[in-house]
Amino acid sequence: MRNLAGFILIFTLPGLLLAQPDVEEILKRIDQQMVTESSEATATMVITNRRGRETRITSRSWSQGEATSLVEYLSPAREKGVKMLRLDDVLWMYSPQADRVIQISGHMLRQSVSGSDLSYEDMVDNGKLLDIYDAALVGEDVFMDRPCYLLRLRVKEGVKDIAYAQRKVWVDKTRYLPLKEERYAKDGTTLLKNFEIREVMKIGDRWYPKEMYFKDVLAKGQGTRYIVDDIKFGVDIPDFIFTKASLRE
């Protein structure tokens, strides 16, 4: 009997091992879906404040690679013309009201963007997961009727200034989108932010989030919806767009 069990194990184990996906491959596939060479998008951020009132901020954004992007607010009137430029790890904000360009740094990076559940740190912290985190497959789960891999990400040694040192990620098994994330502080137990992809869209071969939901666990409020109204990939963007001088244009 024991011999039979050993026999079965010897012949089935390689098959079981082969069924396990390569974790690095999963991260790579996620990065392929989420990080673009260049893009131009319009989006709406729906923020519900503590009084239960909803604010909708529409914006247009351009991005190039992982670390260069520009966001310009289109509405409401009070926010119109506000621009945020990200060049690598540096974030600049332009206010037409004051005609000033201010660098967002230090503790200001942890402030909320326009009262939403996103922080400026979130805006800067969107490099490739593969470059930032060591991953481990910790299980499987179903989220919004989609079978998911459950990954545990821990920041790689030597990688600094990362907003979330650990993440728990539910990755769609076929579309390779991170449908749900729990983002933790360094200790790995203090939950800081929840993230969900609530609707997806297919553009060419790429699956991309249509509607996302952010909730800063430490803040009061009802969370922030981020809706991508329109997005184009692989667009040509003039280099001038990503300069400080362009902010005042």
Partner 1 sequence: MFQFLMKGMLRDRHRSLLPSIVVTLGVFLTVFMYAYMKGIMGDMLNNSARMESGHVKITSLAYRGEVDILPNDLAMEDGAGMLVMLRNNYPELSWSERLKFGGLLDAFDENRETRAQVGVGGIGIDFFGPDDADRTRWDLETGLRAGTLPQQSGDILMAELLAKQMEISVGDDVTLISATVNGSMSLQNFHVAGLIHFGTPPLDRSMIMADIGDVKQMLDMGDWSSEILGFFPLSYYDDALAAALVDTFNTMHCDPLFMDNDSMAFVANLEHDEHIDRFAPYMVTMLDDSNMREYYGYTTKAGSIVSMVMIFAMGIVLWNTGLMGAIRRYAEMGLRLAVGESKGHVYRSLIIESIGVGVLGTLIGTAMGLAASYWLQEVGINFGDMMNNGTMLMPTIVRARITPEAFYIGFFPGVLATLLGAALSGLRIFKRDTSSLFKELET
Question: Binding of partner 1 at residue 160 (CB under 8 A)?
Answer: no
- Please choose, from the candidates 170, 193, 227, 178, the residue with its C-alpha nearest in 3D space to the C-alpha of residue 46: 227
Query: What's the min distance (Å) between Cβ of 73 and partner 1?
Result: 9
Instruction: Show contacts with partner 1 in window 50-79 (CB under 8 A).
Output: 50-51, 55, 78-79
What's the min distance (Å) between Cβ of 87 and partner 1? 16
Binding segment (CB under 8 A) for partner 1, from list 20-28, 45-53, 143-151, 161-169 = 45-53
Q: State the nearest-atom distance from the C-beta of 115 to partner 1, in Å.
A: 2
Residue 102 in the binding site for partner 1 (CB under 8 A): yes
Task: For partner 1, give the closer residue by CB, 107 or 160.
Answer: 107
Rounded to whole angstroms, the Cα distance separating 200 from 24 reads 23
Q: Is 204 helix (H, G, I), strand (E, B) or coil?
A: coil
Q: Coil, strand or helix: which one is 242?
A: helix
Which of 56-65's residues contact partners 24+ apart within 8 Å by CB, and which partners? Answer: 57/114, 57/116, 58/229, 62/38, 62/235, 62/237, 62/241, 62/242, 63/36, 63/38, 63/39, 64/37, 64/38, 64/237, 64/242, 65/37, 65/38
Interface residue with partner 1 among 98, 158, 205, 239 (CB under 8 A) is 98
Contacting residues toward partner 1, per CB under 8 A: 47, 49-51, 55, 78-79, 82, 93, 95, 97-103, 108, 111-116, 220
